[in-house]
Chains A and B, each alone.
Chain A
């Protein structure tokens, strides 16, 4: 009798502490499970009773990587509840902020955390010896994303300039023009990272499992800030119907909520966005998608990392165009936020953060105090799909050595980019055979 037991503890650390359990006996899988052991954080409870202007700052703390997206989903929900209309300039600046977050998050994941898997090493450290220029390039690109976030939001993480109705401080035309040049200059760097990944894309497992993909969709742009909720299975749905899309539920082995829609599970994130919006990618991004052979609808979850790379190029191109639009129209650096008058009501804000669809739903009382809140996080929406993928992927690994099984299971979880520390290589691995 042969028995393989693998318990990968703490694959995740920040947004989700998680373990992978893999048990096989006599060539048959007995259990394979993605277990989320994250401590409940109660954000939805402790914003109750708080005034509306505090909510974006509090909820941006849900994530240290997607804090801009959380702030914007929060502001959109608050503004929807109070009937606030933002200016065109605010909308463009916010879209730029979304792209800044996409840039810094995607290069962090692909450059620091996925590249070691592709190049067969345990962390970014050995890459400094083998690929020093590539690591320096990743550092430069990551810094660019952080600088852009800082410029638009007042600081790199946990934005301070994003407020109800607009911005408390608007970057100068000169600083935006300088950022535009940096974005243009970054294209060769981005292409070199793309080439490195392309040269080693053979390390991405050839695994396909059909599933539903869900992301925001729009008619005129690759949706990040606005749109309807799109599904590869069921078409387009109003954001107001989100509860009937996400259908949150709990399971015994996880402290995080799970979700499901048309099938048993669904996927959100860069690959889902690509699958639903690829025709709206900017030209360079589209070229790179073609080089990788990435075509909608792709059901290989490992290609999520390629989709992130494609989106990185799209965010570079789109950001340049958005700055051109802002400066072309004449930036008003003194524009005050739109007036906000609190009233009782409910508002829903949906955006696409690097890891996928994010929804904030608030109900306010007459004084603008939060009476109820619901936040639907991308990582939570992917948990169930990760489990389904693991169940389908694990049987294909049984003939491999244990170390390779463990690596492949980790790579699958990392492909979803559940959060920065979720994808680190600090893992305690115990085998019992």
Chain B
């Protein structure tokens, strides 16, 4: 199965750059063979084209799910949808809607999951807060564990 790890975020917005930083950790650790590593930034409709090409997609991003800074959570798009009244990340609306659009078009990966780290500060500025920076290795591990599970076990949406 083809797969992709898709990092979201804007490194100019503090902890919002955590997804991209985690992608670098994944790159260094060595991702599962054949997995595409995609720095999607703050994507728009072009994300549809990435999703159309893979069977498995794991998004990695900073999020606000009411946890403690640096806490890591994984979930499917359906679970994220159930939390929509709480801002998940600065890309929540757009990315979820693009995934929903891909599903309705019949051009969505068979399995989609999100791995997120609780942000402490999303505001203009470079650099991650200490708790979020400290959580990057664990976030990268969680991304690879989630991807391996979906490739071999078929979890996700």
Seen from chain A, the residues whose Cβ lies within 8 Å of a Cβ on chain B are 64, 108, 112, 124-125, 128-129, 132, 135-136, 139, 142-143, 146, 156-157, 420-421, 426
| Contact, CB under 8 Å: B105 / A135 | yes
Q: Which residues of B contact A124 (CB under 8 A)?
A: 101
Whole-angstrom distance from the CB of A104 to the nearest CB of chain B? 8
| Contact, CB under 8 Å: B46 / A142 | yes
| Contact, CB under 8 Å: A426 / B93 | yes
In the complex, residue of chain A having the shortest beta-carbon distance to the beta carbon of B49: A143
A64 to B42, CA, bound (A): 10
Q: Which residues of B contact A157 (CB under 8 A)?
A: 46
Evaluate whether A132 and B44 lie within 8 angstroms (CB atoms) in the complex, with A125-B100, A143-B49 already known: no
Q: Which residues of A contact B49 (CB under 8 A)?
A: 139, 142-143, 146
Evaluate whether A156 and B93 lie within 8 angstroms (CB atoms) in the complex, with A124-B101, A125-B104 already known: no
A157 to B44, CA, bound (A): 11
A72 to B87, CA, bound (A): 38
Whole-angstrom distance from the CB of A131 to the nearest CB of chain B? 12
| Contact, CB under 8 Å: B45 / A128 | no
Pick 18 A–B contacts, CB within 8 A, sort by A: A64-B44, A124-B101, A125-B100, A125-B101, A125-B104, A129-B104, A132-B105, A135-B105, A136-B105, A139-B48, A139-B105, A142-B45, A142-B46, A142-B48, A142-B49, A143-B48, A143-B52, A156-B46
Q: Which residues of B contact A112 (CB under 8 A)?
A: 45
Whole-angstrom distance from the CB of A146 to the nearest CB of chain B? 6
- State whether the Cβ of B107 lies closer than 8 Å to any Cβ in chain A: yes
Cross-chain contact of A420 among B44, B52, B97 (Cβ < 8 A): B44
Q: Which residues of A contact B100 (CB under 8 A)?
A: 125
A136 to B108, CA, bound (A): 13
Q: Which residues of B contact A129 (CB under 8 A)?
A: 104
Which chain B residues in 65-104 approach chain A with CB under 8 Å? Answer: 93, 97, 100-101, 104
Evaluate whether A128 and B107 lie within 8 angstroms (CB atoms) in the complex, with A112-B45, A156-B46 already known: no
Cross-chain contact of A146 among B46, B101, B104, B105 (Cβ < 8 A): B46
In the complex, residue of chain A having the shortest beta-carbon distance to the beta carbon of B41: A157
| Contact, CB under 8 Å: B46 / A128 | no
A142 to B48, CA, bound (A): 10
A184 to B12, CA, bound (A): 40
- Per DSSP, chain A at the interface is helix
Interface size on B, residues (CB 8 A): 13
A156 to B38, CA, bound (A): 13
Evaluate whether A128 and B101 lie within 8 angstroms (CB atoms) in the complex, with A139-B107, A143-B49, A426-B93 already known: yes
| Contact, CB under 8 Å: A128 / B93 | no
Whole-angstrom distance from the CB of B87 to the nearest CB of chain A? 14
Ranked nearest first, the 3 interchain pairs of A and B with the lowest CB-CB distance are A128-B104, A143-B49, A139-B48
In the complex, residue of chain B having the shortest beta-carbon distance to the beta carbon of A135: B105
In the complex, residue of chain B having the shortest beta-carbon distance to the beta carbon of A421: B44
Q: Which residues of B contact A64 (CB under 8 A)?
A: 44
| Contact, CB under 8 Å: A128 / B105 | yes
Q: A142-B46, A143-B49 provided; 9 other pairs, C-beta below 8 A? A: A64-B44, A112-B45, A125-B97, A128-B105, A129-B104, A132-B105, A139-B52, A146-B46, A421-B44
A426 to B100, CA, bound (A): 16
Q: Which residues of B contact A146 (CB under 8 A)?
A: 46, 49
In the complex, residue of chain A having the shortest beta-carbon distance to the beta carbon of B53: A143
A157 to B52, CA, bound (A): 19
Q: Which residues of A contact B104 (CB under 8 A)?
A: 125, 128-129
A142 to B97, CA, bound (A): 17
A64 to B44, CA, bound (A): 10
Cross-chain contact of A108 among B45, B101, B107 (Cβ < 8 A): B45
A108 to B45, CA, bound (A): 8
A128 to B101, CA, bound (A): 8
A217 to B152, CA, bound (A): 59
Determine which residue in B44, B45, B105 has the highest number of CB atoms from chain A within 10 A of its CB, and name it. B45
Contact with A along B94-128 (1 / 0, CB 8 A): 00010011001101000000000000000000000
A132 to B106, CA, bound (A): 10
Q: Which residues of A contact B44 (CB under 8 A)?
A: 64, 108, 420-421
A426 to B44, CA, bound (A): 14
Whole-angstrom distance from the CB of A233 to the nearest CB of chain B? 36
A112 to B48, CA, bound (A): 12
Q: Which residues of B contact A108 (CB under 8 A)?
A: 44-45
Q: Which residues of B contact A135 (CB under 8 A)?
A: 105
A200 to B15, CA, bound (A): 45
Q: Which residues of A contact B93 (CB under 8 A)?
A: 426
Whole-angstrom distance from the CB of B20 to the nearest CB of chain A? 15
Whole-angstrom distance from the CB of A106 to the nearest CB of chain B? 13
Whole-angstrom distance from the CB of A310 to the nearest CB of chain B? 22
Whole-angstrom distance from the CB of B139 to the nearest CB of chain A? 25
A209 to B48, CA, bound (A): 38
In the complex, residue of chain A having the shortest beta-carbon distance to the beta carbon of B107: A139
A250 to B97, CA, bound (A): 37
Q: Which residues of A contact B52 (CB under 8 A)?
A: 139, 143
Q: Which residues of A contact B48 (CB under 8 A)?
A: 139, 142-143
A275 to B129, CA, bound (A): 53
Whole-angstrom distance from the CB of B100 to the nearest CB of chain A? 7
In the complex, residue of chain A having the shortest beta-carbon distance to the beta carbon of B44: A420
Whole-angstrom distance from the CB of A11 to the nearest CB of chain B? 17
A139 to B47, CA, bound (A): 10
Q: Which residues of A contact B107 (CB under 8 A)?
A: 136, 139
A139 to B98, CA, bound (A): 12
